[in-house]
Each structure stands twice: as C-alpha cells, then as structure tokens.
Amino acid sequence: MNKNVMDYDTVSLDDDEGALLIIDQTKLPNDVEILRLTKLEDIHRAIYTLQVRGAPAIGVAAAIGLYIVVKNLDADCWDDFYTGLKAAKDYLASARPTAVNLFWALDRMEQAAVSNKSLSLCDVKKALRDEAMSIRDEDIAVCRAIGEHGLTLLKNGDGILTHCNAGQLAAVRYGTALAPVHLGRERGMNFRVFTDETRPLLQGARLSAFELVADGVDTTLICDNMASQVLKNGWVNIIFTGCDRVAANGDTANKIGTSGLAILAKHYGVPFYVCAPFSTIDAAAASGADIVIEQRPPNEVTELWYKRRMAPNGVKVYNPAFDVTDNALITGFVTEKGILHPPFPPK
C-alpha cells in the first residue's frame, strides 16, 4: 500500500547513519521528500528556512540535531565536550526567536549533559540520545492528550476553522490544533475543516490542507480574508489554533493572522481555543509584550510563491511571522492536562 504523509513521523532519528530525518516541508504538497541531516549548519538552515517548522517539531528537531552533532565531537575531556556542546546549542537556538519550544528542548539537552558530567563522555552521549528520544516520545503523547481533550469540545459533523499548520506536520505526530480532528478520524468521526491559506508562506494551503485531505477530512481552503465571511455564514462551530509561545498572563504568540481571527471570532460569537502543550508556556514572559516576534525577509511576501515577482521593486515590505493574541480574546487553552478557561493567569 502507498504511504501518505500521515504515515511518516515529521521528525525522527536514524541512529545507524547518525542523521536527523525530517520531511522537507518546503517541498509539500507536491513532493514528500525526507532529508537526512548530519551537519550543524544544515540543521540550523532547515529550521530557519522552515524545512522543519511548527513549535513542537522545531524543539524535537533541535534536540535530535544537537545529539547528532555532539555525538561526533572530537573531545577528550568534559570541559572540551561542554564547550563544543554549548557552541552548537547557542547556534541552533539562534535559528528562530519566537517558538519557546526551541529553547526549552535545547535547555533540556544541556541539562541532561550537565547532570551526567561525572560519567564517561561515551555515557554522556548516551544520556543525550535518551533525552532527545524522551522529548520526541513526550511530544507524541502530549499531542495525543491534547487531541483527547480537544475532542470533548467537538461533535460529529462540526465545522472547525484553523490557521497556519498546527497539525501533524508541526509536531512528530497528531499536532496540536489538528490533533482532535485526527483522533476523531481514528474513531470514525467526520468534521468539516476550513483552513486559512496563511499568507505569506501558505502553511494552511500547503500543509494543513495536505495532511487533512490525506486523512480523509472534508477540507475547504479559504484565503485569509475570507474567514469573516465563513464565520458570518455560520459554517464554523469552533476555532482551533496552535501557539508558539504563551506568556504567563495568557497572551499568545502564533502565526501572523491569528489575532485578527480571534477578534473576528469574538464578533461572531464563535469559541476560540488555543491548543497549547505546557512546553509552549513561557513563565518568564509576563505578557505578550515580552515575546520576541520574528521578522522574515521581504521576498517571502513579494516572490516566494509566485511564478514572477508580484510587487514592484523598491516597495517596502513588513513581514512579521507572528502576532500576539490578547488573552481576553481566548475562550480556553487545550493542554495535555486538560482545558484551561479564564481567568488567565489562573487565580
């Protein structure tokens, strides 16, 4: 039987060849290509160019990638090994600034090395492999649990609107915002999912639509500026999005366009849920004002997905990759531990 994209883990480790395996998401939906990455620079580039993207997937890729790189470090003593590990960790952490899972996963890896420093370097490397695999396995379990809790908000036949890709391709399996849909499918349920195309990088059109169709879901692609009309038509019972970083007060950074959708949802009285693993909560950020928003290159807006450049040379371009949704617009957070409702933060 032919495999479809749902049959692959988005991120995995090939231990025999010492490689990080990712589905190259810049090639989707036309080609499902697996990249085998072994070099620090290639892993950094894969994260920056969105060959692997989505907060949970970035975290897992960075953890496995760091293990691959330090496994081959030419060091005879702990101090040299740790210097090499820190340099590789800091370089990977510089790939993208907003998704906190990247820093969270890399910090866990550093901690795993430090807490085993009394062991031989060979055993420290084994501990790093174990930690990377735990981060991967936990991601699958957490996403499935988010799916279970999210599914309690749904009934068969519901209309769901989603933005960007917070599905299987944004994690190892299931995803966050699309986990309830994939889990519902496993149980024979059907939903009508509307996916925003998500300008400028089209994660909704290229990725969410692709994995939903592959999973047999009734999927309708809309341009971002059609969401208001679709909500007004009464076609949507609930909105599920993912998140890249949740501040302590519940303000949430996610793909650019999310905050506008939350404002529309309030206007039309549609519940707006953010699906959030606890690893995406950043207690050090008091509010959304403390979250760094990634700015990306102008050519992503003017050229990347067009046969020919579609805007005049010389035009200025503003291209923030994320925006912050005010906590007051969020109906609840679907986490692996259950659904959190206001007040945010909990009293």
Residue type at 135 in one-letter notation: I
The minimum distance between CB 254 and ligand MRU, in angstroms, equals: 5
The minimum distance between CB 70 and ligand MRU, in angstroms, equals: 25
Q: Which residues bind ligand MRU (CB under 6 A)?
A: 50, 53-56, 99, 164, 166, 170-171, 175-176, 203, 242-244, 254-255, 321
Cis peptide before 297 (omega within 30 of 0): no
From 9, 139, 215, 244, active-site residue: 244
Which of 286, 237, 293, 245 has the alpha carbon at shortest distance from 97?
293
The Cα–Cα gap between 323 and 304 comes to 21
The minimum distance between CB 235 and ligand MRU, in angstroms, equals: 22
Nearer to ligand MRU (CB atom), residue 113 or residue 329: 329
Which of 138, 204, 210, 128 has the alpha carbon at shortest distance from 171?
138
Beta bridge pairs of residue 218: 192
Listing DSSP states for 194-231 in one string gives: EEE--TTTTIIIIIIHHHHHHTT-EEEEE-GGGHHHHH
Residue with tokens 């907060």: 55
Nearer to ligand MRU (CB atom), residue 70 or residue 161: 161
List CB contacts of 278: < 8 A, sequence separation 6 or more: 142, 335, 336, 337
The Cα–Cα gap between 154 and 184 comes to 9
Nearer to ligand MRU (CB atom), residue 113 or residue 170: 170
14 catalytic? Reply is no
By beta carbon distance, the residue nearest ligand MRU is 242
- Give the residue numbers annotated as catalytic, written as ranges: 244
